[in-house]
Amino acid sequence: MAPKPTQEELRSGVPLFLDQIVETLQRPASVPPGMMDRSATKHGAALSGRGYTVAQVVHDYGDICQAVTELAEELDAPITTEEFHTLNQCLDNAIAEAVTEYTRLRDQSAVDGETERSGVFAHELRNKLSAASLAYQALKSGRAAMNGSVSAVLGRNLQGMTTLLDRALVEVRLDAGQALRQRVHVHQLLEDAVVDGTMDANIRGVSLSVTSMGLEVDVDVDPHILAGVVANMLQNAIKFTHAGGHVALRAKVVGAHVELEIEDECGGLPPGKVEELFAAFKQRGTNRTGLGLGLFISRKAIEASGGVIRVRDVPGRGCVFTIDLPTMPLLS
């Protein structure tokens, strides 16, 4: 009933390792030096590629020892001390090589991801800084009016740099585990979000409305992280809403939770895009500016605060993003 091994497993997995152990026990001199280590290295890489944890890599080989000893007991086949020593030595070497390769690949993947993230961040920041500098020079020289389109370019790029930096700070706090949760008034949070959001909306020719209905509710979160998430998602909604469109920020209490809804008029999402929207380096729409990290980081931040983020597609109209957080009891 056991499944047949795949070609990959035959080349570097447990079946090959068992053959090598048999060969080592029967004819030690027939196994070339390092052959078992090289196959274990390939096996560690294969398990890493399939998403195994390092503990599963170790147990993969530990199970071999358990199976061999149990089979020997069932068959009443004695294992000599020398044979058991050889078996353990082979297992130890294989585990060491597999784990070493697994760790190397994992670390390399982390470095590659960080390099890509840093490179894209620097590229986006440089673009916005260059555009802002050119607009400033035009205004300073008197070639452009202070209330004209050049001024709007300057404001939009300054706002964009602020958003990039806020998002980077949120990610740093999350990765460092430095979130400082405390009681936060949702009403005050919304008021603060409106200030920057209104400025960005005016620059892009989008109207913004905020509805909290005098909401008096508190949540237990890091205020800087939650503010960064709301600001990022609001800026994201404004960015993808067509000029002349409308963005709505709403807050309501549902049971023991508060829901912050941000609805845009981006025109809706292509089929299948909802599932991948929160993946790293994924961007929605045809506007390719930005890191494609905002929603990915936002989801991490809200989940770290005990909440969730949902998105609902309104075909032909836009999207509704919902931040769902548990509320705190009101202070007496």
What's the pLDDT score for residue 281? 42
What's the pLDDT score for residue 126? 80
**Which tens digits make up the pLDDT trace of 285-322?**
444 344 345 677 788 788 888 889 888 888 889 999 99
Which residue has tokens 């944890």? 53
Instruction: Go through 159-194 and write b for each residue having 16 or more CB atoms within 10 A of its CB, e for each that does not.
Output: bbbebbebbbebbebbeeeebeeeebebeebbeebb
Residue numbers in the chain where pLDDT is lower than 50? 281-282, 284-292
- Assign domain 180-328 one CATH number from 3.30.565.10, 3.40.50.10420, 1.10.540.10, 2.60.40.10: 3.30.565.10
What's the pLDDT score for residue 264? 93
Among the listed residues 115, 117, 119, the one whose alpha carbon sits nearest the alpha carbon of residue 296? 117
What's the pLDDT score for residue 286? 45
Among the listed residues 39, 45, 50, 48, the one whose alpha carbon sits nearest the alpha carbon of residue 14? 39
Instruction: Kindly give the pairing relationship between strand 207-211 and strand 246-254.
Output: parallel
Q: Report phi then psi at 176, rounded to 5.
A: -85, -5
Count CB atoms within 10 A of the CB of residue 306: 13
For 30, the token pair is 């027939």
Interacting residues of 269 by C-beta distance below 8 A, sequence separation 6+: 277, 284, 313, 319
Say how far apart CA 106 and CA 48 lie, in whole Å: 8
Say how far apart CA 36 and CA 42 lie, in whole Å: 10
Say how far apart CA 158 and CA 32 lie, in whole Å: 64
State the helix-helix crossing angle for 149-175 and 186-204, rounded to 10 degrees: 140
What's the pLDDT score for residue 330? 73
Asked if residues 194 and 247 have their Cβ atoms less than 8 Å apart, the reply is no
Say how far apart CA 274 and CA 311 lie, in whole Å: 7
pTM of the shown model: 0.53
Instruction: Kindly give the pairing relationship between strand 308-314 and strand 257-263.
Output: unpaired
Pick left, alpha or beta for residue 183 (phi over 0 → left; psi -120 to 50 → alpha; otherwise beta).
beta
Among the listed residues 102, 112, 2, the one whose alpha carbon sits nearest the alpha carbon of residue 49? 102
What are the structural domain ranges in the chain?
7-111, 180-328
DSSP 108-152: HHHHHHHHHHHHHHHHHHHHHHHHHHHHHHHHHHTSS-TTSHHHH
What's the pLDDT score for residue 141? 83
Say how far apart CA 49 and CA 40 lie, in whole Å: 14
What's the pLDDT score for residue 261? 93
